[in-house]
């Protein structure tokens, strides 16, 4: 199965390092990561199925960010909405991004889209502006999973992406089954 995932969030929340840590399976903390929009590919087995995932990184400071973001929202299978636990503003932006995803796809909020919320920089506890219980409350209200991660210590990054990809896998299987069921019901029907 092939999946497209995008990581969205404000600048300086650690999107690129989190992605690189997951893809390379080692710590990339401290690297220069100010490259606009890149895509990374990783193969892994989930539930005995080979998954090839394309993970798109976004750079909010680039000139065409909004059109790039809108394209990802329309086409991706899953989303990581990332904030820094040291920035309440980045947390507020996650809620806006969540709404944008549903609005751009013209879906009601009862329709399931694989989304996880990620509170990065959990190693900076003394600088925390986003209480864990507040992030958990919002994630529960939005009916999405929440992970606190640390790009510096590589904490919960693999678990977050695996959780998202399992959700993508279930969602694709459900959509495929619904399509097959729908096709079975329309076969043999006559049109006049």
pLDDT for the residue numbered 6:
95
Q: CA–CA separation, 67 vs 58, rounded Å?
A: 11
Alpha-helix runs per DSSP H in the chain:
15-24, 65-75, 88-104, 132-142, 157-186
pLDDT for the residue numbered 188:
55
Q: Are 144 and 116 in contact, with CB atoms under 8 Å apart? A: yes
Question: What value does the CA radius of gyration of the chain take, rounded to a whole number of Å?
Answer: 18
- Domain positions in the chain are 2-186
CA diameter of the chain = 71
Cα angle, residue 158 at apex, residues 104 and 126 outer, rounded to 5°: 90
**Which residues partner with 53 through β-bridges?**
3, 42
Q: Give the CA distances from residue 160 to residues 62, 72, 102, 114, 144, in Å, rounded to whole numbers and listed in that order.
A: 26, 19, 21, 12, 12
* pLDDT, tens digit only, all 192 positions of the chain: 899 999 999 999 999 999 999 998 766 555 555 544 588 999 999 989 999 999 998 866 555 666 777 888 898 999 999 999 999 999 999 999 999 999 999 998 889 999 999 999 999 999 999 999 999 999 999 999 999 999 999 999 999 999 999 999 999 988 888 777 776 655 555 545
What burial class does residue 133 get, using C-beta atoms within 10 Å of its C-beta: 0-12 exposed, 13-18 middle, 19+ buried? exposed
**Domain 2-186: CATH architecture, name and number where available:** 3-Layer(aba) Sandwich (3.40)
């Amino acid at each position: 199965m092939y999946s497209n995932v995008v990581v969205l969030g404000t600048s300086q929340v650690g999107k690129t390092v989190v992605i690189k840590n997951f893809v390379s399976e080692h710590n990339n903390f401290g690297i220069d990561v100010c490259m606009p929009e890149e895509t990374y590919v990783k193969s892994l087995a989930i539930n005995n199925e080979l998954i090839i995932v394309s993970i798109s990184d976004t750079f909010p400071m680039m000139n065409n960010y909004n059109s790039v973001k809108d394209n990802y929202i329309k086409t991706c299978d899953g989303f990581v909405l990332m904030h820094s636990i040291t920035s309440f503003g980045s947390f507020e932006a996650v809620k806006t991004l969540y709404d944008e995803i549903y609005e751009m796809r013209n879906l009601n909020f009862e329709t399931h889209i694989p989304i996880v919320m990620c509170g990065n920089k959990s190693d900076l506890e003394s600088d925390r502006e986003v209480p864990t219980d507040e992030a958990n409350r919002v994630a529960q209200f939005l009916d999405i999973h929440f992970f606190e991660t640390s790009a510096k210590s590589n904490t919960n990054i693999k678990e977050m992406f695996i959780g998202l990809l399992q959700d993508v896998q279930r969602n694709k299987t459900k959509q495929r089954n619904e399509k097959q069921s729908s096709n079975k019901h329309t076969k043999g029907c006559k049109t006049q």
